[in-house]
């Protein structure tokens, strides 16, 4: 009887469309809950190259500092039903709305500019003017580092794809000119410092594409140009390109920019490894482990294929090549741009000590003394210098 | 916790609804009260105790004010209650601004208190004030049941961003309300409308508005696009939030007042404020403007009253002088309208009346959105030609955001609503199209939430 009353009530009073859309809403909610509760979970999103949130742990501490709340909110988002489809759909909807950039967040510090959809399926990082002093402090700390060590120092600030291929950005897209940072670095350089200017070398106007379409790094050929310029600046003879064979090891590379703009119609990149044709026994020592090769091929089957170079970033790597053209020992502070340049550099240095300051917590000056370093260099993408502080890691001693 | 999040829609809301409809009648308010505390504590695990203190304090004060009504004690009691409530609001919201201002005026270097602003404090303080004042005036009886009173203050749909519901409005519903399928489904639809406004329009407009502000020194074109984007963003954000609040309240059988009524179709600034944040406007009218004498006094006093109300309205929106300036700007316009401007307006064509009102709002929002008043003046100057005509940001934004701005403009007029209503009434096919449209918008909204798109919360300063 009561049920009948509800039904008649529904017919008479309730607006049918309201009832329908509310029904759809709650059906969606119900499906979502059931999915969250019972569907098998994945721990890692290959697409986005990040670990998905694990089930939150309810403890007094995690509630008090709010991390429990944050974690459960992320958990719901990360394990949402049809997540992949929704993300893809979102990219398409935004492109349909007329947008040509995605994933910006100006509320964050430093602000995130997101990704531009350039011509020819090329994605680019959006370059923003600096609103923090991160760059200024990094640049100053690196210059001070050079002065303190008193060793020859070579600074290679690498411009981003958006800087070098401005003509391929969406029409009239605003893009910060990284010459500003280059000029600041040049202006602050001490007597023992040589700044290697790659802006013309890597430019689109050379007729070559030196950047990945779907990743923020330079490609293997861009890295070679960077190597050539660096070694020339050091007054040495760079190993000619012909001494390397370039092996295509993947044509399905979808990099970091793709992760921010997931779209199934995106054309992937090809990834090439440079192989030195002459006899060479190059070893890479990472922590206690030593490898007989710089290429960690296990990464080729994963999403993050760029990590095939040296296996990504570690606090310290030591690369040795007894057959190198010189017996010099180089200390290199760097970000991931250097990883694809180092294979070329091994032909010239018997030892390269690679330090990623983001993960390094020792006294770098002591390290230099203990290892008999003869020259120093920094390979950094300008964007990284603007966003991630490494200054405090150089202040020791 | 914000409404426009997956966690709220897919976890919190269904759990509250399930518990609410399962428990017997006499526990329903308790259920709402406890879940509201959880809702608040989610983002403010400490300040929930401040809200509980306010609730307990005003509950007790309400009793005393009623007990001693029409005796000489009632007035001091009310004044005490107002002082404590405003004192808390003042301490948590304005002490930093006050000390900074004293420092900069006097050259002193007093320590600036670093107090995080409890979310929603401006909203619930105004509600508890209305409770005590209504009792003092004899317009509502004091609430016997502290759970019912707590439910009024903490009720999560209107807790963090309004509407500001006067106690008198909700008093009866706290005990006598009926949850019906009609209210529930109308509420569900209303919630969705608010969700669409927030996620599809406001959040996307926010990107443009924030980008122009981030880049700085805009050209004339960029300045206009940024100002228009913020104009529509804040409307869809705030009215979307109110829609969600009204819809959610409806699901629990409550009816809470409307907060927005197409403000951008107004033909005068006075009309704009009758259509914008209606519950705040009526709170100030009821508890400040009329007690000061309203307009039933000399013209000079009337002007004074308007000036007081509008500067207060401004500073209510945030502890920064640009909000006071924004309030004063509206005060000035409204005083001018009262004194002479309305007579002039009546003589010009309707289109120009609208244009004046809309431009007044757009320029107002520039002062609202830039905390630095000098920067705001720079932007307004740029809008009126004191800057290069266009820059790459302006052209790019015009191309990539024109569709969004056009849709936003249409939705802020009554046109879209009228068309949708026509469609619903035009027979089965129309109903199906309307419903299908809703489902599509729901899916697209979910895609923005799952895609983790920009989802700012604007009311952390309020």
Res. A4: pLDDT tops 60: no
Strands A351-355 and A329-334: parallel
Closest residue of A to B446, CA-based?
A86
Closest residue of A to B393, CA-based?
A174
Q: CA–CA separation, B347 vs B343, rounded Å? A: 7
Residue of B158, B267, B277, B317 marked catalytic: B317
B417-426 long-range Cβ contacts below 8 angstroms, 24+ apart: B424/A17
The distance of A18 to chain B (nearest Cα, Å) reads 5
Q: A375: which strand partners?
A: A330
**B210–A172: do the CB atoms touch at under 8 Å?**
no
Q: A158: which strand partners?
A: A381
A327 part of a folded domain: yes
Res. B2: pLDDT tops 90: no
Contact assessment for residue A279 and residue A323, using Cβ atoms and an 8 Å cutoff: yes
A104 part of a folded domain: no
Q: Which domain holds residue A152?
A: 125-394
Secondary structure of residue A279 in the 3-state scheme: coil
Most B CBs within 10 A among A16, A17, A30, hence the mutation to make, goes to A17
Q: CA–CA separation, B272 vs B342, rounded Å? A: 13
Q: B226-250: b or e for each residue (b if 16 or more CB lie within 10 Å)?
A: bbbbbbbbbbbbbbbbbbbbbbbbb
**B186–A129: do the CB atoms touch at under 8 Å?**
no
Secondary structure of residue A189 in the 3-state scheme: coil
Q: CA–CA separation, B132 vs A328, rounded Å? A: 82
A80 part of a folded domain: no
The distance of A5 to chain B (nearest Cα, Å) reads 12
A109 part of a folded domain: no
**B43–A19: do the CB atoms touch at under 8 Å?**
no
- Name the residue among A21, A90, A129 with its Cβ closest to that of B453: A90
Contact assessment for residue A223 and residue A216, using Cβ atoms and an 8 Å cutoff: no
Secondary structure of residue B164 in the 3-state scheme: coil
Could you please report the per-residue DSSP string of B211-226? HHHHH-S--HHHHHHH
Q: A378: which strand partners?
A: A155, A333
Contact assessment for residue A208 and residue A223, using Cβ atoms and an 8 Å cutoff: no
Cis peptide before A110 (omega within 30 of 0): yes
The distance of A153 to chain B (nearest Cα, Å) reads 35
Backbone angles phi, psi at A289, to 5 degrees: -100, 140
Q: Quickly tell me which residue has 């005490």 as its tokens.
A: B80
Res. B44: pLDDT tops 80: no
Residue B342, classified by CB atoms within 10 Å of its CB into exposed (0-12), middle (13-18) or buried (19+), is middle
- Name the residue among A21, A106, A170 with its Cβ closest to that of B210: A106
- Name the residue among B45, B182, B454 with its Cβ closest to that of A104: B454
Which two tokens mark B86?
Answer: 């405003």
Q: Which residues of A touch B404 (CB under 8 A)?
A: 97-98
- Over residues A75-116, the pLDDT tens digits come to 888 888 888 889 899 999 999 999 999 988 888 888 889 999
Cis peptide before B163 (omega within 30 of 0): yes
- Going by pLDDT thresholds of 50, 70 and 90, the confidence category of residue B205 is very high
Res. A10: pLDDT tops 60: no
Q: CA–CA separation, B152 vs B170, rounded Å? A: 7
- Name the residue among A15, A29, A174 with its Cβ closest to that of B9: A29
The closest alpha carbon to A349, from A379, A318, A378, belongs to A318
Contact assessment for residue B376 and residue B367, using Cβ atoms and an 8 Å cutoff: yes
Backbone angles phi, psi at B214, to 5 degrees: -65, -45
Most A CBs within 10 A among B185, B208, B219, hence the mutation to make, goes to B185
Instruction: Report the phi/psi class of residue A390: left, alpha or beta, with left for phi > 0 and alpha for psi in -120 to 50.
Output: alpha
- Going by pLDDT thresholds of 50, 70 and 90, the confidence category of residue A277 is confident
Q: Tell me how long chain B is.
A: 462
For residue A61, give every residue at least 6 positions away whose Cβ sits within 8 Å of its Cβ, in sequence order, or none: none
Q: Quickly tell me which residue has 């002065």 as its tokens.
A: A147
Strands A329-334 and A375-381: parallel
Residue A194, classified by CB atoms within 10 Å of its CB into exposed (0-12), middle (13-18) or buried (19+), is middle
- Going by pLDDT thresholds of 50, 70 and 90, the confidence category of residue A216 is very high
Residue A150, classified by CB atoms within 10 Å of its CB into exposed (0-12), middle (13-18) or buried (19+), is exposed
Secondary structure of residue A244 in the 3-state scheme: strand
> How many domains in chain A?
1
Instruction: Report the phi/psi class of residue A207: left, alpha or beta, with left for phi > 0 and alpha for psi in -120 to 50.
Output: left
Which two tokens mark A103?
Answer: 């994933």
Q: Helix, strand, coil: what percent of chain A each, to 5?
A: 40, 20, 40
What is the crossing angle of helices B299-316 and B321-336, to 10°?
Answer: 150
A167-181, B170-184, B448-462, range with the lowest pLDDT: B448-462
- Give, as one character, the DSSP assignment of residue A334: E
Res. A3: pLDDT tops 90: no
Res. A45: pLDDT tops 80: no
Q: Is B63 annotated as catalytic?
A: no
Q: CA–CA separation, A88 vs B332, rounded Å? A: 50
What is the arithmetic mean of pLDDT over A277-297?
A: 85
A42-51, B58-67, B347-356, range with the lowest pLDDT: A42-51
Q: CA–CA separation, B17 vs A23, rounded Å? A: 14
Which two tokens mark B97?
Answer: 């601004």
Q: Which residues of B touch A174 (CB under 8 A)?
A: 215, 391-393, 396
Would you state the pLDDT for residue B276? 94
A119 part of a folded domain: no
A236 part of a folded domain: yes
Its pTM stands at 0.90
The distance of B414 to chain A (nearest Cα, Å) reads 20
- Name the residue among B399, B452, B454 with its Cβ closest to that of A77: B452
Q: CA–CA separation, B27 vs B33, rounded Å? A: 10
- Over residues B261-276, the pLDDT tens digits come to 999 999 999 999 999 9
- Over residues B387-420, the pLDDT tens digits come to 888 899 999 999 999 999 999 999 999 999 899 8
A101-102: strand order across its sheet:
A101-102, A115-117, A123-125
- Going by pLDDT thresholds of 50, 70 and 90, the confidence category of residue A1 is very low
Q: Which residues of A touch B188 (CB under 8 A)?
A: 18, 21-22, 25-26
The distance of B340 to chain A (nearest Cα, Å) reads 42
Query: Whole-number mean pLDDT of chain A?
Result: 88
Residue A208, classified by CB atoms within 10 Å of its CB into exposed (0-12), middle (13-18) or buried (19+), is middle
What is the crossing angle of helices B13-22 and B25-43, to 10°?
Answer: 160
The closest alpha carbon to B127, from B168, B187, B99, B178, belongs to B168
Instruction: Report the phi/psi class of residue B277: left, alpha or beta, with left for phi > 0 and alpha for psi in -120 to 50.
Output: left
Backbone angles phi, psi at A291, to 5 degrees: -115, 155
**B399–A172: do the CB atoms touch at under 8 Å?**
yes
Secondary structure of residue B104 in the 3-state scheme: helix
Q: CA–CA separation, B293 vs A104, rounded Å? A: 50
Cβ contacts below 8 Å, chain A against chain B, sum to 158
Strands A123-125 and A115-117: antiparallel
- Going by pLDDT thresholds of 50, 70 and 90, the confidence category of residue A6 is low
What is the arithmetic mean of pLDDT over A245-265?
A: 89
- Over residues B419-433, the pLDDT tens digits come to 988 888 888 888 888
- Over residues B318-350, the pLDDT tens digits come to 888 899 999 999 999 999 998 888 889 889 999
Q: CA–CA separation, A294 vs A285, rounded Å? A: 10
């Amino acid at each position: 009887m009561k049920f009948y009353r509800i039904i008649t009530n529904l017919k008479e009073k309730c607006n049918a469309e309201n009832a329908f859309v509310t029904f759809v809403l709650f059906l969606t909610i119900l499906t979502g809950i059931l999915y969250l509760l019972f569907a098998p979970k994945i721990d890692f999103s290959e697409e986005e190259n990040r670990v998905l949130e694990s089930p939150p742990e309810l403890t007094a501490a995690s509630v008090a500092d709010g991390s429990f709340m944050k974690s459960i909110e992320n958990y719901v988002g990360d394990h949402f039903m049809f997540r992949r489809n929704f993300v893809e759909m979102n990219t398409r909807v935004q492109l349909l709305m007329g947008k040509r950039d995605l994933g910006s967040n100006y509320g964050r510090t430093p602000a995130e500019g997101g990704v531009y959809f350039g011509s020819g399926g090329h994605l680019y990082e959006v370059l923003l003017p600096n609103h923090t002093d991160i760059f200024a402090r990094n640049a100053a700390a690196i210059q001070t580092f050079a002065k303190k060590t008193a060793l020859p120092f070579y600074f290679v600030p690498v411009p981003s794809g958006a800087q070098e291929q401005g003509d391929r950005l969406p029409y009239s897209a605003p893009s910060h000119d990284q010459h500003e940072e280059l000029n600041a670095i040049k202006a602050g350089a001490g007597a023992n410092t040589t700044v290697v200017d790659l802006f013309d070398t890597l430019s689109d106007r050379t007729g070559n594409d030196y950047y990945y379409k779907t990743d923020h790094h330079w490609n293997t050929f861009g890295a070679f140009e960077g190597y050539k310029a660096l070694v020339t600046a050091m007054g040495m003879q760079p190993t000619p390109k012909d001494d390397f064979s370039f092996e295509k090891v993947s044509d399905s590379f979808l990099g970091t920019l793709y992760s921010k703009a997931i779209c199934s119609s995106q054309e992937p990149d090809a990834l090439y490894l440079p192989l030195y044709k002459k006899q060479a026994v190059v070893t890479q020592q990472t922590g206690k482990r030593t490898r007989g090769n710089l290429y960690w091929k296990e990464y080729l089957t994963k999403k993050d294929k760029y990590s095939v170079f040296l296996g990504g970033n570690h606090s310290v790597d030591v690369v040795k090549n007894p057959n190198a053209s010189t017996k010099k020992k180089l200390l290199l502070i760097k970000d991931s741009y250097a990883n694809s340049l180092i294979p070329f550099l091994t032909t010239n240095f018997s030892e390269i000590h690679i330090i990623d300051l983001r993960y390094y917590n020792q006294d770098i000056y002591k390290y230099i003394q203990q290892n008999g370093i003869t020259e120093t260099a920094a390979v950094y993408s300008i964007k990284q210098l603007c966003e991630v502080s490494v200054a405090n890691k150089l202040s020791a001693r | 916790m914000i409404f426009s999040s997956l966690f709220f829609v897919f976890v919190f809301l269904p759990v509250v609804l399930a518990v609410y409809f399962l428990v017997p009648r006499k526990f329903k308010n308790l259920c709402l009260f406890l879940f509201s505390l959880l809702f608040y504590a989610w983002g403010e695990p400490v300040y929930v105790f401040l809200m509980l203190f306010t609730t307990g304090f005003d509950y007790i004060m309400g009793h005393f004010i009623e007990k001693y009504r029409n005796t000489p004690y009632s007035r001091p009691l009310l004044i005490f209650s107002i002082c404590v409530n405003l004192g808390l609001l003042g301490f948590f919201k304005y002490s930093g601004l006050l000390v900074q201002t004293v420092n900069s005026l006097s050259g002193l270097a007093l320590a600036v208190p670093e107090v995080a602003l409890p979310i929603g404090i401006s909203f619930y303080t105004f509600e508890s004030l209305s409770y005590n004042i209504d009792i003092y005036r004899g317009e509502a009886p004091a609430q016997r049941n502290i759970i019912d009173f707590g439910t009024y203050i903490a009720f999560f749909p209107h807790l963090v961003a309004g509407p500001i519901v006067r106690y008198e409005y909700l008093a009866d519903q706290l005990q006598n309300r009926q949850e019906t399928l009609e209210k529930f489904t109308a509420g569900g639809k209303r919630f969705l409308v608010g969700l669409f406004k927030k996620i599809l329009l406001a959040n996307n407009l926010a990107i443009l508005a924030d980008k122009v502000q981030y880049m700085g020194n805009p050209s004339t074109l960029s300045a206009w696009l940024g100002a228009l984007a913020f104009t529509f963003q804040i409307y869809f954000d705030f009215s979307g939030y109110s829609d969600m609040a009204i819809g959610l309240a409806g699901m629990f059988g409550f009816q809470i007042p409307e907060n927005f009524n197409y403000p951008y179709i107004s033909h005068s600034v006075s009309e704009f404020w009758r259509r914008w944040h209606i519950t705040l406007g009526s709170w100030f009218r009821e508890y400040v403007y009329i007690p000061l004498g309203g307009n039933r006094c000399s013209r000079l006093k009337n002007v004074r009253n308007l000036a007081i109300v509008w500067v207060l309205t401004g500073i209510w929106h945030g502890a920064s002088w640009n909000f006071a300036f924004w309030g004063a700007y509206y005060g000035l316009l409204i005083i001018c309208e009262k004194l002479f401007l309305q007579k002039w307006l009546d003589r010009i064509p309707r289109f120009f009346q609208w244009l004046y009102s809309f431009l007044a709002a757009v320029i107002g929002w520039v002062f609202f959105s830039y905390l630095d008043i000098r920067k705001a003046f720079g932007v307004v100057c740029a809008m009126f030609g004191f800057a290069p005509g266009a820059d790459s940001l302006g052209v790019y934004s015009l191309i990539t955001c024109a569709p969004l701005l056009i849709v936003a403009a249409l939705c802020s007029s009554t046109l879209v609503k009228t068309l949708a209503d026509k469609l619903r009434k035009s027979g089965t096919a129309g109903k199906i199209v309307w419903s299908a449209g809703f489902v599509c918008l729901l899916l697209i909204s979910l895609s923005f939430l799952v895609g983790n798109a920009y989802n700012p919360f604007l009311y952390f300063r309020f």
